[in-house]
Amino acid sequence: MYRHNMMRGIRKSAALIAVLAAVAVVASACAGSPPPRPLPPRPGQGPAVGERTYLVRAGIEQVYVTDATVGGTVRLSGPGTPTQSKVADAFGSVVFRGLTQGSTVTVTDESATDESTAASQTVRVLDVDEQPSDAFYRAPLMQAGLNYIPMRDGTLLAVVVRPPVGQSVSDGPFPTLIEYSGYAVSAPQDPLADKVARLLDPSLPNDPLTPGGETFVGGVLARLAGYATVSVQLRGTGCSGGESDLFDLPSSYDGYDVVETL
């Protein structure tokens, strides 16, 4: 069956070569061009607190802050939680890790000069046993190409949907292969189109929007065999939000949230 599907996919791809040779492919990047339209917010998304200039969200065993004063001090404290102070990075971001699940903590941007901006915000750290509601996972139909999926703590992960060769998303449902990686699997260019173009013109420069060889199985072979591919970028890498820590709980539960959403 696999061989049959593979040969059928190869015949389909051969029919596309003439088209690919004549068409200039233009891909949108996560930087340097307008960002793709993210999915609309869904019920149960992470607990954004207050209408402040800076944003505080709680994750599993961590709290992260965005849009704080660049280079300023951000303080976290709470009952039974040792007080911590960190300096906001060049993007005004701070992550506090290793917090007790279910604990309540207060975050303050101590360097803010505006009184309303400096007001403290209180959040409750998420627990691994707290699952989002079913409504949280009812995502709209994703489009082919680059999409964003919100995780339970509000972090947006970059996800590229590639249907089987010669088909569109609307032709589905399809058997689906999910890639979850910190490599450039969600680069939005089509790796198959890139390989065909290079066969026709080996002098072409490398396209930074094309996934690397690490997605060859998912981005090329699986699609030739009739599978759709969903390439998920690990948080904190590529075009995904958040901070990368390969073995922390948020990264593990991101995988759960992605599968349930799909």
pLDDT band of residue 115 (cuts 50, 70, 90) is low
CATH number of 55-124: 2.60.40
Q: What is the pLDDT of residue 100?
A: 93
Residue 74: pLDDT band (50, 70, 90) is very high
**CB atoms < 10 A from the CB of 201, how many?**
8
Segment 135-141 mean pLDDT: 80
Q: In the structure, what pLDDT confidence band is assigned to residue 96 with cuts at 50, 70 and 90?
A: very high
Q: What is the mean pLDDT of residues 88-109?
A: 92
Other CB atoms within 10 A of residue 206 CB: 9
Maximum mean pLDDT: which of 17-31, 78-92, 214-228: 78-92
Taking the whole predicted model, whether its pTM rises above 0.85 is answered as no
Q: What are the pLDDT digits (tens) for 247-259?
A: 788 888 999 999 9
User: How much of the chain exceeds pLDDT 70, in percent?
Assistant: 77
Dump pLDDT digits (tens) for 204-228: 888 777 787 777 777 888 899 999 9
Instruction: Tell me the average pLDDT across 30-54.
Output: 45
The angle at the Cα of 65, spanning 61 to 50, to the nearest 5 degrees, equals 105
Domain boundaries, the chain: 2-39+132-261, 55-124
Burial profile 94-133: b = 16 or more Cβ within 10 angstroms, e = fewer? bbbeebeeebebbbbbebbeeeeebebbebbbbeeeeebe
Which residue is associated with the tokens 């709470």? 78
Here the tokens at position 36 are: 């793709």
